[in-house]
Structure 1
Amino acid sequence: MITDAAPFPLDRPTTFTGIGLSITGDNEIAVSQPVGPRYLDHRGQTTIGSVGVLTDVSVGAAVAVARLHATGERPQSVMSQITASTAHPFPVTGAVSGRGRSVYFDDTTGLAEATLFDDDGNPVMHLTGRSIVVGRAPSDALRAPDVTHAAATGTEPGPCADPGVLAELGGLEIVAGIAAETVPRGPLAELLGLTLTAVEHGTVQGEIVPLAWMANPIASVHGGVLMSMAEIVSGLAAQTLTGVGGRYRLLQISADYLRSPAAPGPAVQIKSEVTRAGRRLASIETVICGADGTVYVRARANAQLFPGV
């Protein structure tokens, strides 16, 4: 049985977000991530995007552990698909932790699942993920020592929006305000560097320039960071459907990873569009692509709506 995490040096995004990982069995890992002011959205809430890197690590590392135990090898792999489903609301402070378990692997792919909990033991998210072995070798220059935990950088997290102001605005006005920089975009959006470029009822477009801390060991944007990008813009598209005093919550998001943008690298565009909207539920499709039209990620989300006035 593997009993320590020495074969699994933490990469840049994992270190930057403060994730802890330990190997607890031949096909199982324990993970945790602190949550708090640095990872909140504009409403002051923790979301799937706040723990996006953790979604990738929880399932991807579990398969890597199982493969290493069974074969003695650890080929470089990346996530090809992740589905995240929420349960209890995420905590605003404290930590999210849980266990990831490998369900199956072969020479080219792997399947894993994980359930994450708050500090009181309430389940907050269930994950399933499929990984794929790639031919690219990792770069020692992209290992974690080049970055530190975001909380140790000495920079203050960006502000959340004033709840009193949000209570007086419709959802479309709020998201348009974020685009116009009259409403704070929130700490998580600031951490990612999200800029909104177009806002309509049911559609939101944004742009992010991948930074060095977002890189996995093969110099691509980490799958968990891409999850955060897709989730935050999907949520804003859902918010455009709500009236004054309305709320939204993403219940589930599933991301398919098609190509990998470089990190650091040129800007990527994120477009989220509501494809179906009822009174209580909405379906949203999101695409992350390059300036040349190369599609990196396709995601589908379901949002619960509390429409308001």
Structure 2
Amino acid sequence: MARSRTIEWEDPRVSAAAVGRGSGLDFLRDVLAGRLPAPPISATLGFTLEEVEAGRAVFAMEPGEEHYNPIGSVHGGVYATLLDSAAGCAVQSVLPAGTGYTSLDLTLKFLRPITVDTGKVRAVGTVLHQGRRTALAQAELFDTADRLLAHATSSCMLFPVPAA
């Protein structure tokens, strides 16, 4: 039986234009509070930013069938997107005004399968090291029983953001 899902998002240029105007933490707090729109990927996959503080970002998602691969579990790309988002936003949360970042790499270890029966999952990203040009972060994906489902590390490049 066919299933469908409707997805809506806001103009991503609004948030993109705000990057670097204030600190990374202020930017993420504005997204969390709804003063800036969330990125379209969060609507596509159905995840949300739930917490942010300096050096830490938490995303959550309720897995659904729309996240499945052909073997009946959540596709690894969904894990990777959540973990990349958590690690990257953890880095963003420590950046001063006028600084942006981009992921250079993501190394991921899958530890347990996720299905619709898993329930809500949380990706917790933390900064391990911040230098002048790069930052290193990790992210862990947990189920509601706090079992580790996956782990990732990410290197991010830091760069000046031109004033608007």
TM-score normalised by the chain length of structure 1: 0.48
| Corresponding residue for residue 242 of structure 1 | 95
- Picking from 161, 173, 177, the partner of 2:30 is 177
What does residue 253 of structure 1 align with?
106
Separation (CA, whole Å) in 1 of partners of 2:45 and 2:116: 12
The number of residue pairs the alignment matches comes to 161
* 1:165 to partner: Cα distance: 3.1
Give the AA of the match of 2:18: V
Letter in 2 for 1:178: V
Q: SS at the partner of 1:297? A: strand
Match of 1:301 in 2: 154
Q: CA deviation at 1:196?
A: 1.7
Q: Is the 8 A contact 1:203 1:272 kept in 2?
A: yes
Counterpart residue identity of residue 210, structure 1: P
* Cα pair distance change 1:238/1:278, threshold 3 Å: same
Work out whether 1:269 is the aligned partner of 2:161. no
Aligned to 1:219: 72
Please list, as runs of the form range in 1=range in 2, the aligned pairs for 1:25-64 lying within 5 A after superposition: none
Counterpart position of 1:201: 54
Larger relative contact order (CA 8 Å, sep ≥ 6)? 2
* Structure 2 gap segments, 5+ residues each: none
Q: Provide the secondary structure at the position in 2 that maps to 1:233.
A: helix
Structure with the greater alpha carbon radius of gyration: 1
Q: Is the Cα–Cα contact under 8 Å of residues 200 and 240 in structure 1 kept in the other structure?
A: yes
Superposed CA RMSD = 2.3
Q: Structure 1 stretches of 5 or more lacking a match?
A: 1-140
Asked whether the 8 Å contact 1:161–1:184 carries over to 2, the reply is no
Deviation at 1:223, TM superposition (A): 0.8
Instruction: Say whether the 8 Å CA contact 1:179–1:198 is kept in structure 2.
Output: yes
Return closer, same or farther for 1:280/1:293 CA change in 2, 3 Å cut-off: same
Aligned to 1:160: 12
What's the secondary structure of 1:224's corresponding residue?
helix
* Equivalent AA in structure 2 for residue 291 of structure 1: T
CA positional deviation for 1:212: 1.4
